[in-house]
Structure 1
Amino acid sequence: MTDARELQEQFEAQRRAFAAEPFPSLATRRDRLARLGTLCRRHRDEIARAISQDFGHRAEAESRLAEIATVLQAVRHARRHLRRWMRPRRAAVPWRLKPGRARVHRQPLGVVGIIAPANYPWNLALLPAVDALAAGNRVMIKPSEHTPATSELMARLAARYFSAEELCVVLGGAETARDLSALTFDHLLFTGSARVGREVARSAAANLTPITLELGGKTPAIIGPDADLAKAAERIAFGKWLNAGQTCIAPDHVLIDAPRLTAFVEALRAAVSDFYPRGAASDDYTAVPGSRQRARLEAMLEEAHDRGCRVIALGERVELPGGAVKLPPTLVIDPNAGLTLMQEEIFGPWLPILGVRDFEAALDHVNAGPRPLALYAFTDDAERRRRVLETTHSGGVVFNDTLWHNAVPALPFGGVGESGMGAYQGEAGFRRFSLERSVFLQARHTAVGLLNPPYRRWLLRLLGF
C-alpha cells in the first residue's frame, strides 16, 4: 500500500520530470505508446490469468477481447494519428486584425491521475493512459484494490517498461484513492460509481483540479416495432451478459411494445442457450466477484420476487472453488418502477424487460430518468432514429447493436449528467489531456494602431458599421 507521503514524492518526481521535458517530441510519445503496446502484447497470457484469478473465473476470450485487444487497438490508432493531432491548428482572423495570424497550439497538461475500477481492471486503467501519454503527459494510475492480482501485475510490468517518472502504478485501498485525488494533478480521471465519483469531485475541487468522471447508469435498450426480434435478442444478450453484466454500458433494461414482449423473452432464451449451452456453468460465462456485490444483486432479485414480479432464471447459480460464484442470466418481467432494480444501476446479470405502449412511450420512459451513459435502439426506420438522436440525451447511441461504439477509437467515450462528465478516447482523449492554447502573431505592419486612444468619432461610426 502506498501512503500519502510516498504518493506526494512520486507526484513531485513526475512534476520535475515534466518540467525538464515539457513538450515531448513525436518520437518520444510514439516510443512510450509502443512500450505500452509491447507490455500488453507480450504478457497477455499473464494478464488474462490474473484477471481470472481476481474474478474467481473470467472467460479468457472476454479478457482478451475487452481488456487487451482494446488497449492495443487504442495504441495503434494513437500512434498512427499522433502527428496530425500534435500539429497546430490554424484559426481564422477577423479582417480588422489582418495580416495578423492565429492558431491553436496543443500542449501537454503535465501530470495526469487515473483512478480505475474493478470490472475491467486492465482496460479502464490503461485506455485513458494511452490518451494521456499520446498528449505528452506523465501518468499515475491507481487500479482497484478489489482486483489485487491484476493490480500487482500492472504495477510490476509498468516498472519494467517505464520509468516511474513516465508512468507509475500505485497500489492501495480507498484511503490511497482519497490521497491520490487530493494531489494537485493537472487532470484527474475517475471511473466508477456515482457515489464515489462525487467524493472524488469534492476532493479535486479543493485544488481546482480539472476532472473527467465516467460513472455508468441505467442504460436502456429500445426494441422498435420493425426490429427483428431474434437478431435484437442475440445482440442484447451479448451486450448484457458479457462479463456477467458487469459493464458500465451493458443494457440495463429493455423497453418493447407490450404485445411482442413474450416473443422477445423466448428469443432471449434461445440466444442465451446458444451462447452458454451449460448456463452459468459454461466456461465462457464469467463469475461475479465479491460477496458484497453478490449480496447487493441477490437482494435486488429477492425484492422483485417479494413484490410479485415474474422472474425467469436462464440457468442455475454455480458455486466455484475459492468462494467465487456465477449468477445466472435472469429476466425480470415488468418490474415496478419503485424497485431497487429499477432505481439503481444493476451491474450484474439481471435484465428487466418492460412492456410499453409504443416507441414514443419508450422514448418518454428514457427521458423521464437520468441521462444514461449509452442508449441502444433497434430499428431500421430513419424517422425513429432521428427521434432517438434529437429527443434523448446519452453519452453514446448504438443502433441495432450494443457496446460496439466503445470499440471505435475515433469515437469519444463519456457520459452526460449523472452518467459522467467529459470524454476521452482517440483524438477526444488527446484533446482532453492537452491544453489548447490560443496563439496570436501580430504582423510588423498593421492597422490596429488606428484603434488606439484617443478615440475619434469616425472610429465609432466604423465600429457601428
Structure 2
Amino acid sequence: MSPKPPSQQQTHQTDDYLKLRKSITIQEASDSQIKKIYQILRSSQKDLQQFSVSQRAAEIDKIIGYIKANKEAICTRIVTDTGKSRTDALVSEVLGVLDNLHWNKANAHKILKLRKVSTPISLLGKKSYIQQEPYGTVLIIAPWNYPFHIAMTFITGAFLAGNSIIFKPSEHTPLTGLIEEICAISPLLKQSLKVVYGSGVTAEKLIDEKPNKIFFTGSTRTGKAILKKASQYIIPVDLELGGKDAMVVFPDVDIKRTVAGALWGGLTNAGQSCTSVELLCIHKDIFEQFIEQLTTAVQPLVINTGDQGDADIGAMTTDFQLEIVKQQLDDAIEKGATIIAGGNTFNEKGRFFPPTLVSNISPEMKLYQEETFGPVIALLPFDDEKQLATELNQLPYGLSASIWSRDIDRARRLANAIQVGAVSINNVMLTEGNPALPFGGVKQSGFGRAKGKEGLLAFTRSKSILIDKQSSKIEPNWFPYTRQKYQLFQQLIDVLFTPSWIKLIKLAKTGLALEKEAQRDRGNQ
C-alpha cells in the first residue's frame, strides 16, 4: 500500500501550481547594474551606522507586524514557488522567521553593545573594551529549500548589526518581489537592501565586486566553488552546507512517539532540509518492531501541494533534485538494498515522490554516503554504541543528529562522541527551532554559525579598544632597555605566574621598581 496520492480537487490545485512554476523567469543582472548596486549600498551603509541598535530593532518590529498580518498571502507565495505543503510553509517558514526575528530584536542590543572586559593586573590603571562593528556591505546567497526563512532571518540579522545587504535568492525559488514588499514597510531597511535575481553567473559577478563578507547556504559542491572564488579576494565566508543526519534509537524508547518523530524528521518539506533524518539507526533489539510500526504509519500520509493545510508532504522543488533521489535509490537497489515502502514516483509531472523506506543499506551505496535531500529514509540496525559513533564520524558530513533514549546520560554520552554541530535528544530537528541556539556544522557541512548570539555576531567583526590616561609617565616596557629592567621583568614573570599568598605584595614591589626605573630612564633622555 502506498501513501495517499492527491484527490481530484487536489490535482486541480497541483496543476495551478505547475502553471505558476512555469512562469518563473530570471534575467541575469548586468555588470553595470551590479556595480551601481554596490555603490548605492556602500553609501547607504554609512547612513545606517548613524542609527543605534535599538532604533534598528524598532524597524524589525514593523517587519514582524507585517508578516503576521499577511501570513496567508506569504504562505501562498511560498507554496507557489516551492511546492511545499501549506502547513510546511506556515510552520517551517513563516513561524520560523517570526521566532527568529522576535529573538534577534529583543537580544540584539545586549549582544552588540560595547562590552567592557577584564584588564590584567600588569596593565593596572587601564581599561579594555570590545566593540562590535558591521562588516559593511554583505552578500547573502540563499538556497531553494527554505527561501523565505533563510532570506528574512539573514537579512534582518545583518541589518540589526548595521550592514547593508545584497541578497541573491535561488533562481529556482526567487519569491519575486516578496522580500522587497515586506522590507518596504521599513524605509531604513529598504534603503539598506537590494535583491539581485539570477543564477550562479550573477553570484560570481556579485563576488567579483568584493562584498565585505559572504553568507552562503546550499550544497557542499556550490559552497566549495564560492569559497574558492572568495579566496581570490580574501573575503570571509560563512558556509552552511549539506548534511547526512542520523537519528539514533535505543531500545528503551516509546516506539509510537519515536516512529512519529522519525517520519516527520525524514519527510517534512519532502525531505528537502539539510537536517532531515536520512540515516535511521535503530537498535537491533527493536529493529523489526520499529520498522513494522514505521511502515504502517507512513501509509496514511497525504502527498500534495496547493492544499488548504490538509496535506502532509508537498512536491519536490526541482527536477534535478528529484533525479538525484532516483539515482541514489537505483544505485542502492543494484547493490542489494530493499525498498520497504514507496520507491517510485506516481506523478512525474508534479515532482511528487512518495515517502520511501529502504533497508539493507551498506557503506558503498550513495544512499549511505551522499546527501539525499528527498523523502527517503535509510534504515540501519546497530548493537554497539561506540561502533556506531565511529561509523557516523566517518561520514563526510556533520550537521546535526538526534538521539532517542530514556537514559539521558547515555544520550548525552553519544551526543558528545559524534562529530556534528547540533544534537536533539528525544526530539528531531529541534535545535534549529530555538532561536537562541547557534546553527551550523562541521566537516563538509561547512563552518560558521547562524542564529542566536553567534549568528548575530557573525555579521560583525570585533574591535579591541584599550584606554589609558594621558600623563607624563613612560611605560616600563618602552625604550630604552637596560640590564636593570631586564632583571626586574624576570622578577615580574616569576611573581605573576607563581601561586603565592603574598603575590600582590610582591607584584606591587616589583611594579614600583619598574616604574621607578622607567621614569629614571626618561629623566636621562
For Structure 1 versus Structure 2, the TM-score category normalised by the shorter chain is: over 0.9
CA–CA separation in structure 2 for the residues paired with 1:315 and 1:302: 9
Aligned to 2:8: none
2:355 matches 1:355: no
Question: Post-superposition shift, 1:111?
Answer: 0.9
Aligned to 1:294: 322
- Aligned CA distance change for structure 1 residues 107 and 279 (closer, same or farther; 3 Å): closer
Moved more, 450-459 or 7-16: 450-459
- Aligned CA distance change for structure 1 residues 433 and 252 (closer, same or farther; 3 Å): same
2:302 matches 1:269: no
* Equivalent pair of 2:420/2:441 in contact (CA under 8 Å): yes
Aligned to 1:285: 313
2:181 matches 1:153: no
Question: Post-superposition shift, 1:419?
Answer: 0.2
CA–CA separation in structure 2 for the residues paired with 1:127 and 1:164: 15
Aligned to 2:77: 50
* Equivalent pair of 2:329/2:343 in contact (CA under 8 Å): no
Question: Post-superposition shift, 1:160?
Answer: 6.1
- Aligned CA distance change for structure 1 residues 86 and 348 (closer, same or farther; 3 Å): same
Question: Post-superposition shift, 1:68?
Answer: 1.0
What do the CA deviations read for 1:296-330 (whole angstroms, capped 9, x no partner)?
2112212222333210125974428xx32221111
* Equivalent pair of 1:145/1:172 in contact (CA under 8 Å): yes
Match of 2:68 among 41, 46, 56: 41
Question: Post-superposition shift, 1:280?
Answer: 6.5
Match for 1:335: what amino acid?
I
2:457 matches 1:439: no
Aligned to 1:304: 332
CA–CA separation in structure 2 for the residues paired with 1:175 and 1:398: 38
* Equivalent pair of 1:257/1:359 in contact (CA under 8 Å): no
Q: Output aligned runs, 1:108-257, within 5 Å.
A: 108-148=134-174, 150-159=175-184, 161-162=186-187, 164-257=190-283
Q: CA RMSD in A?
A: 2.2
CA–CA separation in structure 2 for the residues paired with 1:124 and 1:60: 18
- Aligned CA distance change for structure 1 residues 230 and 315 (closer, same or farther; 3 Å): farther
- Aligned CA distance change for structure 1 residues 105 and 311 (closer, same or farther; 3 Å): same
CA–CA separation in structure 1 for the residues paired with 2:418 and 2:147: 31
2:36 matches 1:9: yes
Match for 2:153: what amino acid?
L
Q: Output aligned runs, 1:373-388, within 5 Å.
A: 373-388=399-414
- Aligned CA distance change for structure 1 residues 164 and 29 (closer, same or farther; 3 Å): closer
**What runs of 5+ residues in structure 2 fail to find an aligned partner?**
1-26, 495-525
Match of 2:108 among 82, 88, 93: 82
- Aligned CA distance change for structure 1 residues 12 and 170 (closer, same or farther; 3 Å): same
Question: Post-superposition shift, 1:124?
Answer: 1.5
Match for 1:245: what amino acid?
G
* Equivalent pair of 2:145/2:317 in contact (CA under 8 Å): no
* Equivalent pair of 2:401/2:423 in contact (CA under 8 Å): yes
- Aligned CA distance change for structure 1 residues 115 and 39 (closer, same or farther; 3 Å): farther
CA–CA separation in structure 1 for the residues paired with 2:415 and 2:334: 38
Aligned to 2:57: 30
CA–CA separation in structure 2 for the residues paired with 1:157 and 1:64: 16
Match for 1:263: what amino acid?
Q
What do the CA deviations read for 1:386-421 (whole angstroms, capped 9, x no partner)?
422332221111111111110111111111121011
Match of 1:94 among 114, 120, 124: 120
Match for 1:420: what amino acid?
G
Q: TM-score, normalised by structure 1?
A: 0.92
CA–CA separation in structure 1 for the residues paired with 2:340 and 2:446: 32
CA–CA separation in structure 2 for the residues paired with 1:164 and 1:128: 15
- Aligned CA distance change for structure 1 residues 447 and 363 (closer, same or farther; 3 Å): farther
- Aligned CA distance change for structure 1 residues 279 and 260 (closer, same or farther; 3 Å): farther
Aligned to 1:319: 347
Match for 1:42: what amino acid?
A
Question: Post-superposition shift, 1:93?
Answer: 0.9
Question: Post-superposition shift, 1:153?
Answer: 2.7
Question: Post-superposition shift, 1:63?
Answer: 0.6
CA–CA separation in structure 1 for the residues paired with 2:186 and 2:31: 25
- Aligned CA distance change for structure 1 residues 175 and 369 (closer, same or farther; 3 Å): same
Match for 2:292: what amino acid?
E
- Aligned CA distance change for structure 1 residues 359 and 231 (closer, same or farther; 3 Å): farther
Question: Post-superposition shift, 1:262?
Answer: 1.3
Aligned to 1:67: 93
Match for 2:459: what amino acid?
F
CA–CA separation in structure 1 for the residues paired with 2:284 and 2:373: 25
CA–CA separation in structure 2 for the residues paired with 1:449 and 1:27: 40
How many pairs are equivalent?
A: 459
- Aligned CA distance change for structure 1 residues 38 and 140 (closer, same or farther; 3 Å): farther
Moved more, 2-11 or 238-247: 2-11
Q: Output aligned runs, 1:417-428, within 5 Å.
A: 417-428=443-454
Question: Post-superposition shift, 1:250?
Answer: 0.7
Aligned to 1:400: 426
Question: Post-superposition shift, 1:447?
Answer: 6.5
CA–CA separation in structure 2 for the residues paired with 1:390 and 1:69: 30
Q: Secondary structure of the equivalent of 2:444?
A: helix
Question: Post-superposition shift, 1:264?
Answer: 1.4
Aligned to 2:367: 341
2:42 matches 1:19: no
* Equivalent pair of 2:215/2:238 in contact (CA under 8 Å): yes
**What runs of 5+ residues in structure 1 fail to find an aligned partner?**
none
